[in-house]
Structure 1
């Protein structure tokens, strides 16, 4: 009988532990995407510290170097660029005051492929293209390293029309830093 009680108690502890570890759910409307619709979830905190100031111009170069965990998912670093746009816009900074450039290189290079060549390489539509289109519409420049394109054995005419072909990721980052851009490594 003690053995049954012990097993029963162990099972109860396991169930209680699993319940305690279950992820809590956020209330409806907690996460929003005010500017880049459907991308870059953010939760705005109106009374938080270090908020962007609406009258300032912000210059950021985002270095995108990691691949998405799955080829059918948008690149998380590109989604973070969208989150950044959403956070600044929610803080009242006009899009015209955001000078954002996202340059993909290394493992992130395939995000720049047009849909036909992405499908040929990965067997699925390029999930980054709708996000790239939204970012471009918001004034963000999306670029790809020309050296990384060559290293991946992609042709330059395979790059999506919304993506700027840069000489390299290295020169893009350093040239923009010389112009006062802050580097955000993603």
Structure 2
């Protein structure tokens, strides 16, 4: 009987523990783990269009660490998709500038400068594959010497981060800055 009780407790612990784990997906399977929130008081409108622009300007000091502010976009996509918002209703843009400029360059250019592959490369590619628009500030491109040819394919250059942020907000995107 004691072994049965122990096994039952173990099963409850494992079941409860798994239910409380953060999970990635369904949009990005390798990035953007989020907690499931069951029955929130403030309900998510799964019929709404969510247009958001993330202002990405900081980057980790380590050249081998993923930029968590970029990964926030993956969390945004995954948490809303997990909550029933269709991907077609999630419009996401990243405006990248300042120290974060290096985080959206191709592996070869990153290796030349920092001696390792870009730890953000796969994350940025998966975000773009999910429809996220990645925009580099043209002023940062010039001042930090990251020409278009060095960018991860699909990334765009704007006149400036300020310009891109204003235009996206004029188009109904809500600014999220961390």
Q: Same fold (TM over 0.5)?
A: yes
Partner of 2:50: 58
Partner of 1:134: 126
* 1:32 aligns to 2:15 (yes or no): no
Structure 1 residues 42-61: Cα deviation after superposition (integer angstroms, max 9, x where no partner): 01102123343211101101
The DSSP-based 3-state class of the residue aligned with 1:173 is helix
Computing the radius of gyration from Cα coordinates, the structure with the larger value is 1
Structure 1: unaligned runs, 5 residues or longer: 1-25
The DSSP-based 3-state class of the residue aligned with 1:103 is strand
Alignment RMSD, CA only? 1.5
TM-score (norm 2): 0.85
Structure 1 residues 47-76: Cα deviation after superposition (integer angstroms, max 9, x where no partner): 123343211101101000101231111111
Structure 2: unaligned runs, 5 residues or longer: 1-15
TM-score (norm 1): 0.81
Partner of 2:11: none
Q: Distance in 1 between matches of 2:41 and 2:117?
A: 40
Distance 1:46 1:71, change over 3 A: same
The DSSP-based 3-state class of the residue aligned with 1:88 is helix
* 1:110 aligns to 2:102 (yes or no): yes
**161, 170, 173: which one aligns with 1:181:** 173
Partner of 2:115: 123
Q: How many residues align?
A: 161
